[in-house]
Structure 1
Amino acid sequence: MSTLGIDLGGTFARAAVVDEHGRIMASAKVALTERSPAAVVEVIALAAAAALAEGGGVTVHGCGVGAAGQIHRDSGIIAVAPNLGWRNVPLGALLAQRLGQPVRVVNDLAAAAWGELHAGAGQGATDVYVVFVGSGVGSCIIANNQLVRGAGGVAGELGHTKVVPNGRRCGCGELGCLEAYAGGHNLIAQARELLASGRSTVLAQLAGGDPNRITPVTLEQAADAGDLGAREIHERAGHMLGMAIANMVTVLNPARLIIGGGVLTHCPGLRRHVMEGVQAFASNTSREGLLIADAELGDDSGLIGAALLAV
């Protein structure tokens, strides 16, 4: 039995026809030119239609959507989606009406984690903790083969745990979140602030003086080259990530810790901080038998997981 998986990002909507084993049979991607709920629903419908056409018109039984944001447990209402500028959008109901299919909406990390559990690095485990650091910081808890969603559906929001009282403002609107210091968008924002201050000749050289050329990789390169300001931002982010993840390992005692996302994939220094943090700060007993693995499915994890969650 095949289902539709949707990965809704801030710039694209991806759709895939996925079989019951987590194999992608056909897929399509459509750019978001507008971010209003009505416009995004139409883009998702276009991507879904293209994927179904590529799949030869296969019949699907349900649709799962992974979206970046805080999502109410049963209603499919997106409470907060910073990348889209949404608050309290009933995406599940809007899509079900448009597609004529039952739709399940989950956090994008929940979808990615479910994909990794069933078709990637989590296979064979029942207690898994998944952390992705990309534009933001997301995580998901799987205990005894079940998603831990919490009473309101927002359990596992590691990126919005507080690490600095009244600190930097996060995209969620609150102050001092981990994501505000270690998420990709906010690493770039801090590096641009450093560049504007004139205190980083190394960063200026690497970016050619253009703030728009700065990425988390640029920041790590400047830190590695000895730039003190870049090193401060980089090491603070790595320390915060490492300790936060280590504390979750202590609390949850997972059999497997899966890490991924573009920032950790392309910034080996930050990934090293995470590994060192887990070794230094997780309790000894929680580290016994812990396997740390890199995510295996890349950008497809959310598509696969969303589709499998639709069943």
Structure 2
Amino acid sequence: MPTLGIDLGGTNARAAVVDEQGRILASAKVALTERSPMAVVEVIAQAAASAMAASGGAQVRGCGVGAAGQIHRDSGVIAVAPNLGWRNVPLGALLAERLGHSVRVVNDLAAAAWGELHAGAGRGATDVYVVFVGSGVGSCVIANNQLVRGAGGVAGELGHTKVIPNGRRCGCGELGCLEAYAGGHNLIAQAREVLLAGRSPGLAELTEGDPSRITPLTVERAAEAGDPAARELHERAGQMLGMAVANMVTVLNPARLIIGGGVLLNCPGIRRYVVEGVQALSSNTSREGLLIAEAELGDDSGLIGAALLGL
């Protein structure tokens, strides 16, 4: 019997009916017009109903949810979800009551990693480290075919390791996190600051002076064209990511490192910093036999992984 997978982002909720082999039978997406917990629950319920109808009325035996944020291990309570502005929201209980199914809530990167392990770039491996850099920086550890979740359920939060004491404020509310410098959203914010301060003629030319047109790829192109301010931001983000991921390879000794997310897949320069950082900075023994692979499932990894975890 298939399972329902939910991918909850900051702007949309996606739902899919997924079979035991990780194949999507049907899916649906509904935009979030409000971000209050009950409004989001209703949007998820709407997406789930649409996906099940599109599957021909398939019966599901449970539900898994991947959500961006820090999630308590067993309760399904979202401790912090910056994109939604949530703190301590019992999403698992709210959804179980609304959907009438058991619900398991995990971090979106845990869901994506589980999907890649079983149906994507992680097939055949048992010890995997997954890093996605998109609007934020997320990671997940799989050891001996098991998610490493930690005592409270928030293990593997690479984006919230500290890289500069008392540095930039992160969306999690803390200071100096890796995500505050290398996540796509914060990289754009830093680039807007230097553009508005008149310090980046390269960005000004590429965007025609419009801060809303800045993307991580814009920063990369300005950096490669020789703009000093853009190069500083680009190098700092790339070097921080490369060192952070290399250190995790040294600590974890995975067989496979899977990288993905919009920034790493669309910005080859930043991706190169990560790959070269791992090759240069992780310990020799930890990277023996290490395979670095790009995520294969794209936007579907979280849906598939959430559904399989919902089993």
Per-residue deviation, residues 245-292 of structure 1 (Å, max 9, x unmatched): 000000000000000000000000000000110011100000100000
d(CA) in 1 for partners of 2:199 and 2:181?
A: 19
Provide the C-alpha distance between the structure 2 equivalents of 1:36 and 1:223, rounded to a whole number of angstroms.
39
Q: Give the corresponding residue for 2:198.
A: 198
Aligned to 1:290: 290
Helix, strand or coil at the partner of 1:60 = coil
Q: Distance in 1 between matches of 2:263 and 2:54?
A: 32
Deviation at 1:128, TM superposition (A): 0.2
Normalising by structure 2, what TM-score? Answer: 1.00
Matched, 1:81 2:85: no
Residue 2, structure 1, aligned to residue 9, structure 2: no
1:143 corresponds in structure 2 to: 143
SS in 2 for 1:251: helix
Deviation of residue 208 (structure 1)? 1.5
| CA-CA distance at 1:202 after TM superposition | 1.1
Identify the residue that residue 41 of structure 2 maps to in structure 1: 41
Note the 1:222-233 alignment, pairs <5 A. 222-233=222-233
Per-residue Cα deviation, 1:207-262 (whole angstroms, up to 9, x for no partner) = 12111111101110100110000000000000000000000000000000000000
Note the alpha carbon deviations across 1:107-153, whole angstroms, 9 max, x for none. 00000000000000000000000000000000000000000000000
Distance 1:85 1:209 in 2: 30
1:263 alignment partner in structure 2: 263
Which residue identity lines up with residue 267 of structure 2 in the other structure? Answer: C
Matches within 5 A, 1:62-81: 62-81=62-81
Superposition map of 1:70-109 within 5 A: 70-109=70-109
Amino acid at match of 1:54: A
Distance 2:74 2:199 in 1: 49
Say how many residue pairs are matched: 311
- Opposite residue 2 of structure 1, the aligned amino acid is P
Q: Indicate the residue corresponding to 1:173 in structure 2.
A: 173
Q: Specify the alignment match of 1:26 in structure 2.
A: 26
1:124 counterpart = 2:124: yes
1-side partners of 2:64 and 2:113: how far apart? 14
The match for 1:242 is 242
TM-score of the aligned structures, taking structure 1 as reference length: 1.00
Letter in 2 for 1:16: A
Q: CA shift at 1:201, angstroms? A: 1.2
1:303 alignment partner AA: L
d(CA) in 1 for partners of 2:43, 2:213: 29
Q: Counterparts of 1:199 and 1:78 in 2: how far apart (Å)?
A: 40
What CA distance in whole angstroms lies between the structure 2 residues aligned with 1:308 and 1:63? 9
Aligned mates of 2:26, 2:263 — CA distance in 1: 27
Task: Provide Cα deviations, 1:73-118, integer angstroms capped at 9, x if missing partner.
Answer: 0000000000000000000000000000000000000000000000
Partner of 1:304: 304
- The one-character-per-residue Cα deviations of 1:36-64 (angstroms, maximum 9, x if unpaired) are 00100000000000000100100000000
- Where 2:61 maps in the other structure, the secondary structure is strand
Mapped partners of 2:94, 2:16: distance in 1: 19
| Matched AA of 1:250 | T
Gaps spanning 5+ residues in structure 2: where?
none
SS at match of 2:170: coil
- Partners in 1 of 2:135 and 2:193 — Cα distance? 17
- Kindly state the Cα deviation for residue 199 of structure 1 after the two structures are TM-superposed: 1.0
**Distance in 1, Cα, partners of 2:240 & 2:79:** 26
Aligned counterpart, 1:134: 134
Q: Give the Cα separation in 2 of the matches to 1:101 and 1:204.
A: 52
Q: How far apart, CA to CA, are the structure 2 residues paired with 1:224 and 1:61?
A: 51
SS in structure 2 at match of 1:33? coil
| Root mean square deviation of aligned Cα | 0.4
SS at match of 2:62: strand
Unaligned runs of 5+ in 1: none
